[in-house]
Amino acid sequence: MKIQPCFFNAHHAPIGAFASFTLGFKGASGGLGFEMGHPANQNVYIGLESGQKGVYNALPFYDSPEKHEGLITSDPAAASVPEVRIEPFPDDAVSREYGLCSDTWQAGELRFTVYSPVEPVPDPGKNPDHGDLPRILLPAVIAEMEIDNRHSERCRKAFFGFTGNEGPGMRRIGGTTGDLRGIGQGRNLAICTDEKKTGSGIGYSAEEVLYRSSSAGTVHGGLGTAALLLFDAPAGEITTLRFVICFFHEGSVTTGVEASYFYRRFFESIEDAAQYALHHFPAIRQAAVAAESRIETAPLSAQRRFMLIHAVRSYYGSTQLLDTSEGPLWIVNEGEYRMINTLDLTVDHLFFELAMNPWVVRNVLDWYARRCSYCDTVRLPGDGREYPGGVGFTHDMGVANVIAPAGASAYEQPGRNGLLSYMTHEQLVNWVLAAAVYALNTRDGEWLQSKEDLLCDCFASLINRDHPESGQRTGVMRRDSSRCAGGSEITTYDSLDPSLGRGRGNSCGAMKRWAAFLLLHRLFEMLGRAEAATEYIQEARRIAGMILSHVNGSGFVPALVDTVPATTALPLVEGLIFPWQAGCGEVFDAKSEFAPLIDAARRHFTYALSSGACRCADGGWKLSSGSDITWLSKLYLCRFIATEILGIDEDGMFTEADDAHCRWLLDERNSYFAWSDQFRSGAVVGSRYYPRGVTSILWLREKRRDDVREALSN
Amino acid sequence: MKIQPCFFNAHHAPIGAFASFTLGFKGASGGLGFEMGHPANQNVYIGLESGQKGVYNALPFYDSPEKHEGLITSDPAAASVPEVRIEPFPDDAVSREYGLCSDTWQAGELRFTVYSPVEPVPDPGKNPDHGDLPRILLPAVIAEMEIDNRHSERCRKAFFGFTGNEGPGMRRIGGTTGDLRGIGQGRNLAICTDEKKTGSGIGYSAEEVLYRSSSAGTVHGGLGTAALLLFDAPAGEITTLRFVICFFHEGSVTTGVEASYFYRRFFESIEDAAQYALHHFPAIRQAAVAAESRIETAPLSAQRRFMLIHAVRSYYGSTQLLDTSEGPLWIVNEGEYRMINTLDLTVDHLFFELAMNPWVVRNVLDWYARRCSYCDTVRLPGDGREYPGGVGFTHDMGVANVIAPAGASAYEQPGRNGLLSYMTHEQLVNWVLAAAVYALNTRDGEWLQSKEDLLCDCFASLINRDHPESGQRTGVMRRDSSRCAGGSEITTYDSLDPSLGRGRGNSCGAMKRWAAFLLLHRLFEMLGRAEAATEYIQEARRIAGMILSHVNGSGFVPALVDTVPATTALPLVEGLIFPWQAGCGEVFDAKSEFAPLIDAARRHFTYALSSGACRCADGGWKLSSGSDITWLSKLYLCRFIATEILGIDEDGMFTEADDAHCRWLLDERNSYFAWSDQFRSGAVVGSRYYPRGVTSILWLREKRRDDVREALSN
């Protein structure tokens, strides 16, 4: 699809390599990023000789060469080459075709496409030797450059290269191993080709490399951080060049748990990966084209299709499949924060994973059960006594390749009431929901049985955070984990106002509790444990009653049921997605015992939008009437629940919101960060370069299409 | 020794780990640097609770915490902790005692000493299992902190920590493995202790960690880049804490030639190295103290002792001992440029290596002979024809862990007449000089015989760069390597004016040629090849005659003998050091056939100084009357040659120069870079953070002490 403005960063990421060839924002804003929470900020040079001597045109992904990192600062002449100039193609000469797995820039006679994968990963725990794994886990993306020199009478030089970041030196690859030609930085980054007539050079600037290549043929020397691959595009022809853009990290890469990348089972070195990628270039491209075509037929508006594509790409840039002595470990790193498998992201990635890689859900849940759970006690506010708690799960598994000690997270700290406090109740609910949805979706009975005891413990722990005695329960979380040490629990909505961010008395949290009890009920029916199942459904009923009792005169349920003022929050409906995803759609029927609850949720949501409580001035949506901060991933989710579960008509408030959300992402203030989650007044304020937008995968499962939206989407 | 001003950066470096705990310049200017060409620019926190609640004092090696790298940018409150302030000790409260192997800061009740090694390395090629190698190659330096809390009535918190650079997360080490407690970044950097009552914490700022440690006891959470070790210094006592500051790089670290660090033979991981360091703490400290005491008895002025110490430390920070399938490879990286074993540095490090590690000279020469030599043809200026050339050596072996292809360097490029051109003649002479001095010093006959053919080839190649026919030789280099491809060769003095920087007609180069032929003559006498020996000495005589014929009316030899204007250059005398170091001192006797040459050199040097041609306004020396750029390493060398070989009296021009050179290094504009080589008007303009100052090791061998200098040195 064509996107305007077209200069936004996008991930072009391998699967599970925690790497991305990010490109699209002007200037030194992209490049070969590796285990980073942001773009690599390298100059990327993709260009072609112009008709004018010494002048080259390139896509605008580099900074002007005023400031050269000089070897010999006393002689700037060494780096500056007035004879050569690289001019960016004018903005209006560049067009971009942006798809799920291909991203093409066309400018003048140059066409450049990057292909990146979107494909299920066969369970590496079950079959580590699966024949597709090397291709799917290949730590590389591929690219093609086409130079249309049919209307020129002279050979023109084309180039592709980048400037490395601080670290090992730049190098030229090839000559010794088969047909491989390339440039790279140390052992970690490389751009390679199998084009036989490839030149390459390293210098203080791309201009200098081009200058030396034109004067001396071969480019000698290895100083400087700019490296280019160089080609001659003969006159009168179209020249097509193939590239593989590779990332590699050998050996152990983590602490806490020792792990290497799973792709190390298949590739010895970056050269090895590059060879493989070039050898399998057609198959890799074909897989990308096939994946992309599947999404192109989806009846989504341009805005929503863009957001979905953009989000899926950002997700893959954060993925990391590791190989440990305890088996594979699938990690989604948390965008700019790089936290490992944040459990409240896992529960949002659930819909994507179940569509693509159900084993990933099981893998992460198993790691959480085995390593990232703990047993706590609980406290009432203002009461120093400790009451029985139960099993809890940490917020995350660590940060930036540092796996946290067992039972601890990178994020959580005691003594806090806001950011960085514990999320024990939230993560307990999340673990149960993810486990239940996984088991009910996949019918993985063996796994369910292995988790039966833990699920019982989870129920007890959930109950203890309300009240251990049935008669005293209210249905809402009321007790903080003693890990808070005087502070109080928060929710995943940590950066929003307390109405969403506080754990206790939270109606959105209560709705997720409701879903958890409902699904526990189903699981224990499946396990043939009728008594437990009955006990569990009672809790779901209790919560439904509690929620209904709090519907206020305006028709909405306050975000906190135990305090004033009453704020309105869209995520009240969030809990509904889990029964839906678990295949329990009958819960939403008019004859269901929970019909009144669903009806209240529908009225709540309708009120939140139509009253303007949860809408921004530009038509975008806000999660809470009490905060100007909003998260796109959750809005995507709520949008789906509204139309598909609650049956709310997709009116102008929906399409206006799509337009606004799309504008936010493409705004020049924000689009350096590819897909980001957290916005305030249309400006990104956190959760940049983030994976969670894949909640939008649900949009592909919409059944209630309406003509109005279709008409508006063109 | 006490140095004022005391806030200059110094390396505290292990041997052969390409790492340094650099510290001393104010602000975030030092820290745990790892394979870098500059200090790590980390905040380093070394401090102590003050008498005032919430106020801590620290050495001034950190930036103020205004700009915290925040996780949650929308809530700056998460990182800022108004209750805690770290104030730097006032400048005048800090004193520093700076030695070869110990560096101590004293401020208030805090005393902090870093110990770093200066010790010969047993030849790892001959005996890789030598019992001392683990201690000597240990990739760590050690430190002690002393808190004198005898006059206080309360326990005070002390801390030591740093903020990591971009890369893997910060982590806490310990709990599981013995007594080890520490903090670190990923698998590469760590500060550890065996103090049992050690706390630690990670946060967005040191202030935040201190705040949380005081309010909650244990510091939970792992987000942020600041990590501290925390201690309680009891009232009424002196508390002494021991630290090991460790660096580790696993696996292959280079390209071109695959290599790992040699220390990997002894240590599995950074924890392993830390354990070893703590276990052997007394022996490591004792070795440092012993090495330091040896230099303290040397009769050097304070200025010269400081420069020597400073230079030796910088040298070690650039050293890197690798383990390859072709045996060990000793590397000295070239300071800020990180070029590998630059051969014109090798020849300057010769005096240091022969004193400390003679095998290093052989090792580097062998690698050059095996991998970094080539065979070229030569050309006359303005004559396109190619004439026989011969064996040549590259300028370097690569850059920044990227080992250049065989026969190529990172630096050299064709088609140039200045910087970045080839140095074929220079490096050929350097290889011969280093080989000859090594063989004559060590009497390593076996090695000499293995290099006999190559030395013959070197002679032929040297000759061909003058003229292949004896009758047409002038004694000076006149032909450029055809590798220059139309350009012309330069010398090691690449950044100076052409009088020193041009290869052809260079009298300084001719004097090194003279030394090369003289020593080849000695070598071939040693080999029993009288005929060749006679041929070689003829060439030395020819050069002597040529030089003497160019002594001009002012009494100096112009830097270029084939052009005007005539510039005066101190390094004319440089060649004299090689016969001296090779034990051929009789060359300098009054009865030697070369006495007229030595006399001319003496008059030249005296003229260069007394005329002011090679002196700066502040009394410092300049290498050439034609350039304001000067290099300290070469001045150190020339100084030694002047007094010890030429017998020039060490008058005020010498001690003034020592003062000036010392001032340059300590100038606030320069002292961030520890020892640097290249200055202009007292400001560093290149070759920062550089290893070459170890030419000053020669000063320890001075015999002609004079009382004037001794008197002036206090």
- At B578, give phi and psi (nearest 5°): -70, -50
Predicted confidence (pLDDT) per residue in A31-58, tens digit:
999 999 999 999 999 999 998 888 999 9
Do B216 and A485 lie within an 8 Å CB cutoff? yes
pLDDT band at B79 (very low <50, low <70, confident <90, very high): low
Q: Which of A444-453, B67-76, B631-640 has the lowest mean pLDDT?
A: B67-76
Is the domain of B284 the same as that of B305? no
Of B216, B399, B408, the CB nearest to A223: B399
- pLDDT at residue B175 tops 80: no
CA-nearest residue to B214 within chain A is A415
Tell me, what's the pLDDT at B473? 93
**Cis, peptide link before residue B565, omega less than 30° from 0:** yes
Q: Considering the domain boundaries, does residue B8 fall inside one?
A: no
Which residues touch B35 (CB under 8 Å, ≥6 apart)?
A167, A168, B18, B19, B249, B253, B338, B400, B401
Is the domain of B319 the same as that of B289? no
Query: Which parts of B297-444 fold into alpha helices (H)?
Result: 302-317, 343-356, 358-371, 424-442
Which residues touch A301 (CB under 8 Å, ≥6 apart)?
A655, A658, A709, A710, A712, A713, A714
Tell me, what's the pLDDT at A347? 98
Is the domain of A405 the same as that of A272? no
Is the domain of A521 the same as that of A403? yes
Contact between B516 and B393 (Cβ < 8 Å): no
- pLDDT at residue B215 tops 80: no
Last residue of a domain, one of A293, A315, A335: A293
Q: Does A494 contact chain B (CB < 8 Å)?
A: yes
Per the structure, how many domains does chain B have?
Answer: 2
Task: Could you list the beta-strand ranges (E) of A99-178.
Answer: 102-107, 110-115, 140-148, 156-163, 170-174
Predicted confidence (pLDDT) per residue in A496-541, tens digit:
888 889 999 999 999 999 999 999 999 999 999 999 999 999 999 9
Question: What does the buried/exposed string (b/e) look like for B691-703 if buried means 16 or more CB atoms within 10 Å of the residue's CB?
Answer: bbbbbbbbbbebe
Greater model confidence, B22 or A382:
B22
pLDDT band at B704 (very low <50, low <70, confident <90, very high): low
Tell me, what's the pLDDT at A80? 61
Vertex B210, ends B207 and B211: CA angle to 5°?
A: 85
Predicted confidence (pLDDT) per residue in B583-618, tens digit:
999 999 999 999 999 999 999 999 999 999 999 999
Best mutation site among A420, A423, A689 for testing chain B: the one with the most B CBs within 10 Å? A420
Q: Does B264 contact chain A (CB < 8 Å)?
A: no
The mean predicted confidence, pLDDT, of chain A is 93
Of A78, A410, A494, the CB nearest to B221: A410
Do A72 and B408 lie within an 8 Å CB cutoff? no
* CA-based nearest residue to B631, from B492, B499, B534: B492
Do B412 and A221 lie within an 8 Å CB cutoff? yes
Helix (H) or strand (E) holding A456: helix A452-464
Average pLDDT, integer, range A262-283: 98
Contact between B296 and B99 (Cβ < 8 Å): yes
Last residue of a domain, one of A293, A324, A344: A293
Q: Which residues of chain B make contact with A484, given a CB cutoff of 8 A?
A: none
Is the domain of B269 the same as that of B338? no
Last residue of a domain, one of A269, A293, A317: A293
Q: Considering the domain boundaries, does residue A103 fall inside one?
A: yes
Q: Does A581 contact chain B (CB < 8 Å)?
A: no
User: Alpha-carbon distance B152 to B481, whole Å?
Assistant: 73
Vertex A26, ends A22 and A32: CA angle to 5°?
A: 25
Do A402 and B168 lie within an 8 Å CB cutoff? yes
Interchain CB contacts (distance < 8 Å): A and B:
167
User: Alpha-carbon distance B79 to A77, whole Å?
Assistant: 45
Do B78 and A216 lie within an 8 Å CB cutoff? no
Q: Which residues of chain A make contact with B35, given a CB cutoff of 8 A?
A: 167-168
Do B398 and A222 lie within an 8 Å CB cutoff? yes
The β-bridge relationship of strands B398-399 and B402-403 is antiparallel
Q: Which pair of structure tokens corresponds to residue A122?
A: 């066969």
Is the domain of B555 the same as that of B682? yes
Do B255 and A71 lie within an 8 Å CB cutoff? no
User: Alpha-carbon distance B491 to B505, whole Å?
Assistant: 11
Predicted confidence (pLDDT) per residue in A377-409, tens digit:
999 988 889 999 999 999 999 999 999 999 999
List the 47-106 stretch of B: residues with Cβ below 8 A of A.
Answer: 71-75, 77-78
Q: Does A6 contact chain B (CB < 8 Å)?
A: no
- pLDDT at residue B692 tops 90: yes
Predicted confidence (pLDDT) per residue in A665-681, tens digit:
999 999 999 999 999 99
Do B222 and A170 lie within an 8 Å CB cutoff? no
Best mutation site among B41, B42, B74, B200 for testing chain A: the one with the most A CBs within 10 Å? B74
CA B519 to chain A, closest CA, distance in angstroms equals: 32
Q: Considering the domain boundaries, does residue B4 fall inside one?
A: no
Is the domain of A309 the same as that of A239? no
- pLDDT at residue A432 tops 80: yes
Instruction: Look at residue B260 and give its three-state secondary structure.
Output: strand
Predicted confidence (pLDDT) per residue in A320-360, tens digit:
999 999 999 999 999 999 999 999 999 999 999 999 999 99
- pLDDT at residue A296 tops 90: no
Do A404 and B222 lie within an 8 Å CB cutoff? yes
Instruction: Look at residue B193 and give its three-state secondary structure.
Output: strand
Q: Which residues of chain A make contact with B216, given a CB cutoff of 8 A?
A: 413-415, 485
Contact between A190 and A183 (Cβ < 8 Å): yes
Contact between B137 and B214 (Cβ < 8 Å): no
Percent of chain A scoring above 70 in pLDDT: 95
Q: Which pair of structure tokens corresponds to residue A121?
A: 């990963």
Q: Considering the domain boundaries, does residue A164 fall inside one?
A: yes
Tell me, what's the pLDDT at B71? 40
Is the domain of B283 the same as that of B359? no
Q: Considering the domain boundaries, does residue A607 fall inside one?
A: yes
Tell me, what's the pLDDT at A100? 97
Q: Which of A580-584, A633-637, B72-76, B539-543 has the lowest mean pLDDT?
A: B72-76
- pLDDT at residue A218 tops 80: no
Strand partners, B227: B162, B202
Best mutation site among A41, A42, A204, A220 for testing chain B: the one with the most B CBs within 10 Å? A220
Predicted confidence (pLDDT) per residue in B116-158, tens digit:
999 999 999 999 999 999 999 999 999 999 999 999 999 999 9
**Which pTM does this prediction carry?**
0.95
Greater model confidence, A283 or A295:
A283
Do A401 and B169 lie within an 8 Å CB cutoff? yes
Tell me, what's the pLDDT at B497? 83
Do A222 and B485 lie within an 8 Å CB cutoff? no
- pLDDT at residue A176 tops 60: no
User: Which residue do the tokens 């001045």 mark?
Assistant: B635
Do A222 and B414 lie within an 8 Å CB cutoff? no
Do B171 and A255 lie within an 8 Å CB cutoff? yes
Average pLDDT, integer, range B625-639: 97
- pLDDT at residue B459 tops 70: yes
Is the domain of B482 the same as that of B614? yes
Residue A82: Cβ within 10 Å count: 9
Q: Does B685 contact chain A (CB < 8 Å)?
A: yes
Is the domain of A257 the same as that of A334? no
Tell me, what's the pLDDT at B349? 98
Average pLDDT, integer, range B194-218: 84
Predicted confidence (pLDDT) per residue in A694-705, tens digit:
999 999 999 854
Q: Which long-range contacts (CB under 8 A, 24 or more apart) does A127-132 make?
A: A128/A265, A128/A328
List the 36-55 stretch of A: residues with Cβ below 8 A of B.
Answer: 36
Q: Considering the domain boundaries, does residue B553 fall inside one?
A: yes
Tell me, what's the pLDDT at A117? 98
CATH number at residue A598: 1.50.10.10
* CA-based nearest residue to B20, from B191, B279, B246: B246
Q: Which residues of chain A make contact with B678, given a CB cutoff of 8 A?
A: 74
* CA-based nearest residue to B316, from B117, B128, B143: B117
* The residue type at A99: G
Question: Residue B256 belongs to what domain range?
Answer: 19-120+131-293
Q: Considering the domain boundaries, does residue B5 fall inside one?
A: no
Q: Which of A411-420, A628-637, B242-251, B593-602 has the lowest mean pLDDT?
A: A411-420
Q: Does A407 contact chain B (CB < 8 Å)?
A: no
pLDDT band at B3 (very low <50, low <70, confident <90, very high): confident
Q: Which residues of chain B make contact with A172, given a CB cutoff of 8 A?
A: 405
Is the domain of A288 the same as that of A311? no
Question: Tell me, what's the ipTM?
Answer: 0.94
**Cis, peptide link before residue B122, omega less than 30° from 0:** no
Of B252, B337, B685, the CB nearest to A71: B337
Q: Which pair of structure tokens corresponds to residue A364?
A: 């992460």
Q: Considering the domain boundaries, does residue B504 fall inside one?
A: yes
Helix (H) or strand (E) holding B147: strand B140-148
Do A74 and B398 lie within an 8 Å CB cutoff? no
The mean predicted confidence, pLDDT, of chain B is 93
Q: Does B406 contact chain A (CB < 8 Å)?
A: no
- pLDDT at residue A450 tops 60: yes
- pLDDT at residue A65 tops 80: no
- pLDDT at residue A97 tops 70: yes
Do B215 and A412 lie within an 8 Å CB cutoff? no
Is the domain of A139 the same as that of A257? yes
Q: Which residues of chain A make contact with B487, given a CB cutoff of 8 A?
A: none
